[in-house]
Structure 1
Amino acid sequence: MALTFRSRIEHASAPWVERLNAVPRAVSLAVLIALLAVGVLAPSPWSGVAFAVVAAFVAWLLFLTWQRLTLPERLLRVAVLTLVLAVTVVELAPS
């Protein structure tokens, strides 16, 4: 029996989620804050790359948790992802 796309992604993500859970929350938060600081303070191409990494991480977490979230939680997470993607596009687009 073939696995669905969602099942394959969840299965492939399981080791990464376990590693992420093993890392102290303060370290994870520090890495996220560092990426956002690079996104805010670095020159244009590097800031866009930092925001793109944050957007990819948020999208991955949103995909993994989508079925367990309530409607308000989904809307808030989609709004955050949209905001990060918009900033990424603005930073990467040539002026």
Structure 2
Amino acid sequence: MALSFRSRVEHASAPWVERMNAVPRAVALGVLVLVLAVGIFAPSPWSGIAFLVVTAFVAWLLFLTWERLTLPERLLRVAVLVLALAVAIVELAPS
């Protein structure tokens, strides 16, 4: 029997989630803040790439936790995802 897409992604993500859980929360938060700082202060193409990295990370976490979230939690996480994607598009679009 073939596994569903969700099962395959969860199975492939399990080692990465375990590694993230092994890292102290302050370090993980510091890395996220560092990438966001690059997104805010770097010149245009690099800031867009930094926000795309944040967007991909948020999308991955949202996908993994979607079934366990309540509706308000889903809406807030989707709003963060859309906001990060919008900032990335604005930074990457030529002016």
- TM-score normalized by structure 1? 0.99
CA deviations on 1:15-46 (whole Å, 9 max, x unpaired) are 00000000000000000000000000000000
Q: CA RMSD in A?
A: 0.3
**Residue type at the aligned position of 1:43:** P
**1:41 has 2:41 as partner:** yes
Consecutive aligned runs of 4 or more in structure 1 exceeding 6 Å deviation: none
**Structure 2 matches for 1:4-83, cutoff 5 A?**
4-83=4-83
Structure 1 unaligned residues grouped into runs of 5+: none
Identity of aligned residues (%): 81
Unaligned regions of 5+ residues in structure 2, if any?
A: none
Hey, what does 1:87 align to over in structure 2?
Answer: 87
The 1-side partners of 2:21 and 2:93 are apart by 35
* Count, aligned residues: 95
